[in-house]
Chain A
Amino acid sequence: KQEVTQIPAALSVPEGENLVLNCSFTDSAIYNLQWFRQDPGKGLTSLLLIQSSQREQTSGRLNASLDKSSGRSTLYIAASQPGDSATYLCAGLSGGGADGLTFGKGTHLIIQP
């Protein structure tokens, strides 16, 4: 059974810093890994999807990497802004397209102005 862990559970940094959020998973036969953002009381917004054949994906100031052999993914946020404050979730898909995602419990990020 796939298990996903996110460290740290919470992080507070000054505006402008570059930062890295970590995600680890137990099943290296992961099909893809997806990063989400969730604002308080809101739904999940998909940020990046990395398929198993890929090593990284980039969108604007965000870069996500996937290392299946070590069971790790990282989300890099460049030049952080107060608007980046949210909970970031990573989730792995271990089966084919029909299976659901296995989520980590998230990293609660606060960017101090």
Chain B
Amino acid sequence: DAGITQSPRHKVTETGTPVTLRCHQTENHRYMYWYRQDPGHGLRLIHYSYGVKDTDKGEVSDGYSVSRSKTEDFLLTLESATSSQTSVYFCAISVQGYEQYFGPGTRLTVT
């Protein structure tokens, strides 16, 4: 257990509404990541962070933004949710840039 929590764990929202998912870690790891998991696609990287206010895009970043104002929190925002963003979202941390540990996930449904 790498001390990673995600909130909310489940959310149903309507198309066009903004949504923010939160990832919180307790061990001050520098690297944090957001992935989404979809049937047929597996897990894909959305955004990642290598420090406070230092973020970069991953493979499927369109429609998503992130922020990291504190070491322990990494926020993922869907500015205007679409049905294609229905997915399970996982946050991860990297220990010294090597092994990655994952949070429990957030199941998001956009209706």
Contact = CB atoms under 8 A, between A and B. Distances in A.
Interface of B: 31, 33, 35, 40-45, 48, 50, 56, 58-59, 90, 94, 96-105
B42 A43 contact: no
**Which of A36, A44, A102 has the most chain B CB atoms closer than 10 A to its own CB?**
A44
Interface range for A = 20 to 34
Name the prevailing secondary structure of the B interface residues: strand
Given A43-B105, A89-B42, A99 B98 contact: no
Interface of A: 32, 34, 36, 42-46, 49, 51, 89, 91, 93, 96-106
Contacts of B35: 100
B45 A101 contact: yes
B90 A49 contact: no
